[in-house]
Amino acid sequence: MKHLRAKRMGPRATALVCIALALTLTGGADPHAQATSDGWRTFDGGWSATGTRQTLATESGRPALIVHLSGAIALASGGVGSGFGAEAIGFDDASGEAIGRAVWTDRNGNRIFSTLRGGPLQTGRRVIGTITGGTGRWANATGDYTLTWQYVVSDESDAMQGHSVDLHGRIRVSEARP
Protein backbone atom coordinates (compact mmCIF):
# COMPACT_ATOMS: atom_id res chain seq x y z
CA MET A 1 0.00 0.00 0.00
CA LYS A 2 1.41 3.38 -0.94
CA HIS A 3 1.99 5.70 2.01
CA LEU A 4 1.50 9.42 1.51
CA ARG A 5 1.81 12.24 3.98
CA ALA A 6 -0.40 15.28 3.76
CA LYS A 7 -1.99 17.73 6.16
CA ARG A 8 -5.66 16.84 6.22
CA MET A 9 -8.68 17.01 8.47
CA GLY A 10 -8.80 14.17 10.94
CA PRO A 11 -10.64 11.05 9.75
CA ARG A 12 -13.67 11.66 11.98
CA ALA A 13 -14.01 15.31 10.91
CA THR A 14 -13.71 14.38 7.23
CA ALA A 15 -16.32 11.64 7.63
CA LEU A 16 -18.74 13.98 9.40
CA VAL A 17 -18.40 16.63 6.67
CA CYS A 18 -18.99 14.00 3.94
CA ILE A 19 -22.01 12.51 5.73
CA ALA A 20 -23.52 15.94 6.39
CA LEU A 21 -23.12 16.92 2.73
CA ALA A 22 -24.62 13.67 1.43
CA LEU A 23 -27.53 13.71 3.87
CA THR A 24 -28.26 17.34 3.01
CA LEU A 25 -28.55 16.31 -0.64
CA THR A 26 -30.78 13.31 0.06
CA GLY A 27 -34.33 13.86 -1.05
CA GLY A 28 -35.93 11.02 0.93
CA ALA A 29 -36.54 9.12 -2.28
CA ASP A 30 -39.37 6.63 -2.57
CA PRO A 31 -37.77 3.22 -3.23
CA HIS A 32 -40.67 2.32 -5.54
CA ALA A 33 -40.26 5.40 -7.76
CA GLN A 34 -38.78 5.21 -11.26
CA ALA A 35 -38.47 1.42 -11.19
CA THR A 36 -38.28 -0.54 -14.44
CA SER A 37 -41.04 -2.99 -15.32
CA ASP A 38 -39.16 -5.76 -13.48
CA GLY A 39 -38.70 -3.58 -10.36
CA TRP A 40 -34.99 -2.80 -10.72
CA ARG A 41 -33.67 0.71 -10.13
CA THR A 42 -30.12 1.56 -11.19
CA PHE A 43 -27.76 3.98 -9.51
CA ASP A 44 -24.36 5.58 -10.12
CA GLY A 45 -22.17 7.65 -7.85
CA GLY A 46 -19.14 7.76 -5.59
CA TRP A 47 -18.12 6.73 -2.10
CA SER A 48 -15.78 8.81 0.08
CA ALA A 49 -14.58 7.23 3.30
CA THR A 50 -12.13 7.60 6.14
CA GLY A 51 -11.20 5.16 8.84
CA THR A 52 -8.55 2.97 10.34
CA ARG A 53 -6.73 -0.23 9.60
CA GLN A 54 -5.01 -2.79 11.77
CA THR A 55 -2.24 -4.96 10.35
CA LEU A 56 -0.72 -8.30 11.25
CA ALA A 57 2.49 -9.71 9.75
CA THR A 58 2.15 -12.90 7.67
CA GLU A 59 4.56 -15.46 6.25
CA SER A 60 4.12 -13.98 2.76
CA GLY A 61 5.57 -10.63 3.82
CA ARG A 62 2.27 -8.94 2.92
CA PRO A 63 0.29 -7.98 6.04
CA ALA A 64 -3.22 -9.18 6.83
CA LEU A 65 -5.53 -6.19 7.36
CA ILE A 66 -8.73 -5.30 9.13
CA VAL A 67 -10.25 -2.00 7.97
CA HIS A 68 -13.12 0.04 9.36
CA LEU A 69 -14.32 2.87 7.11
CA SER A 70 -17.15 5.38 7.32
CA GLY A 71 -18.18 8.23 5.10
CA ALA A 72 -20.72 9.20 2.48
CA ILE A 73 -22.14 7.83 -0.73
CA ALA A 74 -23.44 10.41 -3.21
CA LEU A 75 -25.66 9.01 -5.97
CA ALA A 76 -27.09 10.32 -9.22
CA SER A 77 -29.90 7.83 -9.57
CA GLY A 78 -33.44 7.04 -10.54
CA GLY A 79 -35.52 6.61 -7.40
CA VAL A 80 -32.84 5.39 -4.98
CA GLY A 81 -31.89 8.66 -3.26
CA SER A 82 -28.94 10.99 -3.61
CA GLY A 83 -26.97 10.31 -0.45
CA PHE A 84 -26.32 7.80 2.27
CA GLY A 85 -24.08 7.63 5.28
CA ALA A 86 -21.97 4.49 4.79
CA GLU A 87 -19.93 2.25 7.03
CA ALA A 88 -17.87 -0.79 6.08
CA ILE A 89 -15.63 -3.29 7.78
CA GLY A 90 -13.36 -5.63 5.86
CA PHE A 91 -10.73 -8.31 6.20
CA ASP A 92 -7.84 -8.99 3.83
CA ASP A 93 -5.99 -12.19 4.78
CA ALA A 94 -2.93 -11.25 2.66
CA SER A 95 -3.88 -13.73 -0.08
CA GLY A 96 -5.17 -10.99 -2.42
CA GLU A 97 -8.84 -11.62 -1.61
CA ALA A 98 -10.75 -9.34 0.74
CA ILE A 99 -14.24 -9.73 2.20
CA GLY A 100 -16.40 -7.41 4.23
CA ARG A 101 -19.77 -5.97 5.11
CA ALA A 102 -21.29 -2.55 4.49
CA VAL A 103 -24.35 -0.69 5.69
CA TRP A 104 -25.76 2.40 3.98
CA THR A 105 -28.11 4.60 6.03
CA ASP A 106 -30.52 7.06 4.43
CA ARG A 107 -31.60 10.34 6.03
CA ASN A 108 -34.58 8.63 7.69
CA GLY A 109 -32.41 6.00 9.38
CA ASN A 110 -33.42 3.18 7.01
CA ARG A 111 -30.55 0.87 6.10
CA ILE A 112 -29.31 -1.16 3.15
CA PHE A 113 -27.02 -4.09 4.03
CA SER A 114 -24.45 -5.68 1.72
CA THR A 115 -21.54 -8.07 1.55
CA LEU A 116 -18.28 -6.98 -0.08
CA ARG A 117 -15.57 -8.91 -1.89
CA GLY A 118 -12.61 -7.91 -3.98
CA GLY A 119 -8.92 -7.22 -3.93
CA PRO A 120 -6.97 -5.46 -1.20
CA LEU A 121 -8.16 -1.97 -0.25
CA GLN A 122 -5.78 0.13 -2.27
CA THR A 123 -5.77 2.42 -5.28
CA GLY A 124 -7.24 0.85 -8.41
CA ARG A 125 -8.84 -2.17 -6.70
CA ARG A 126 -12.29 -3.35 -7.75
CA VAL A 127 -14.94 -4.18 -5.12
CA ILE A 128 -18.17 -6.11 -5.71
CA GLY A 129 -21.11 -5.57 -3.35
CA THR A 130 -24.17 -7.80 -3.00
CA ILE A 131 -27.22 -6.19 -1.38
CA THR A 132 -28.60 -8.64 1.18
CA GLY A 133 -31.53 -6.78 2.73
CA GLY A 134 -32.46 -3.70 4.65
CA THR A 135 -34.72 -2.02 7.16
CA GLY A 136 -37.76 0.21 6.80
CA ARG A 137 -38.33 1.21 3.17
CA TRP A 138 -35.37 -1.00 2.16
CA ALA A 139 -36.67 -4.19 3.82
CA ASN A 140 -36.42 -7.16 1.41
CA ALA A 141 -33.97 -5.28 -0.84
CA THR A 142 -31.75 -7.25 -3.22
CA GLY A 143 -29.22 -6.09 -5.75
CA ASP A 144 -25.57 -5.58 -6.51
CA TYR A 145 -22.99 -2.89 -7.18
CA THR A 146 -19.36 -2.46 -8.16
CA LEU A 147 -16.79 0.25 -7.54
CA THR A 148 -13.11 0.92 -8.04
CA TRP A 149 -11.18 2.87 -5.43
CA GLN A 150 -9.82 5.97 -7.18
CA TYR A 151 -7.33 6.56 -4.41
CA VAL A 152 -6.48 5.26 -0.98
CA VAL A 153 -4.24 7.26 1.31
CA SER A 154 -2.83 5.93 4.57
CA ASP A 155 -0.26 7.16 7.03
CA GLU A 156 1.93 5.78 9.78
CA SER A 157 -0.92 6.08 12.33
CA ASP A 158 -2.99 3.59 10.27
CA ALA A 159 -5.55 6.29 9.41
CA MET A 160 -7.05 5.78 5.93
CA GLN A 161 -8.90 7.90 3.40
CA GLY A 162 -10.34 6.72 0.11
CA HIS A 163 -12.68 7.66 -2.70
CA SER A 164 -14.47 5.89 -5.53
CA VAL A 165 -15.98 7.67 -8.50
CA ASP A 166 -17.49 4.76 -10.40
CA LEU A 167 -19.98 3.15 -8.08
CA HIS A 168 -22.61 1.49 -10.33
CA GLY A 169 -25.42 -0.79 -9.25
CA ARG A 170 -29.02 -1.83 -9.13
CA ILE A 171 -31.53 -2.49 -6.37
CA ARG A 172 -34.98 -4.04 -6.18
CA VAL A 173 -37.30 -3.89 -3.17
CA SER A 174 -39.78 -6.76 -3.01
CA GLU A 175 -43.04 -6.40 -1.17
CA ALA A 176 -43.07 -8.31 2.13
CA ARG A 177 -45.05 -11.54 2.00
CA PRO A 178 -47.76 -11.95 4.71
d(CA 92, CA 117) in angstroms, rounded, equals: 10
Distances (CA, A) of 133 to 42, 92, 103, 114, 162: 16, 24, 10, 7, 25
Taking alpha carbons only, the member of 144, 112, 85 closest to residue 31 is 112
With beta carbons less than 8 A apart as the criterion, state whether 167 and 104 touch.
no
Q: Is the pTM above the cut of 0.85?
A: no
d(CA 30, CA 138) in angstroms, rounded, equals: 10
pLDDT band at 146 (very low <50, low <70, confident <90, very high): very high
d(CA 25, CA 48) in angstroms, rounded, equals: 15
Query: What domains can you pick out in the chain, each with its CATH number?
Result: 11-173 (2.40.350)
Instruction: Indicate whether 5 pLDDT > 70.
Output: no
State which H helix or E strand residue 143 sits in: strand 141-154
pLDDT band at 133 (very low <50, low <70, confident <90, very high): very high
Q: What is the pLDDT of residue 22?
A: 39
With beta carbons less than 8 A apart as the criterion, state whether 107 and 80 touch.
no
Share of the chain above pLDDT 90, in %: 51
7 Cβ contact list (under 8 Å, min separation 6): none
Burial (CB < 10 A; 0-12, 13-18, 19+), residue 124, is exposed
Q: What is the pLDDT of residue 87?
A: 98
With beta carbons less than 8 A apart as the criterion, state whether 70 and 85 touch.
yes
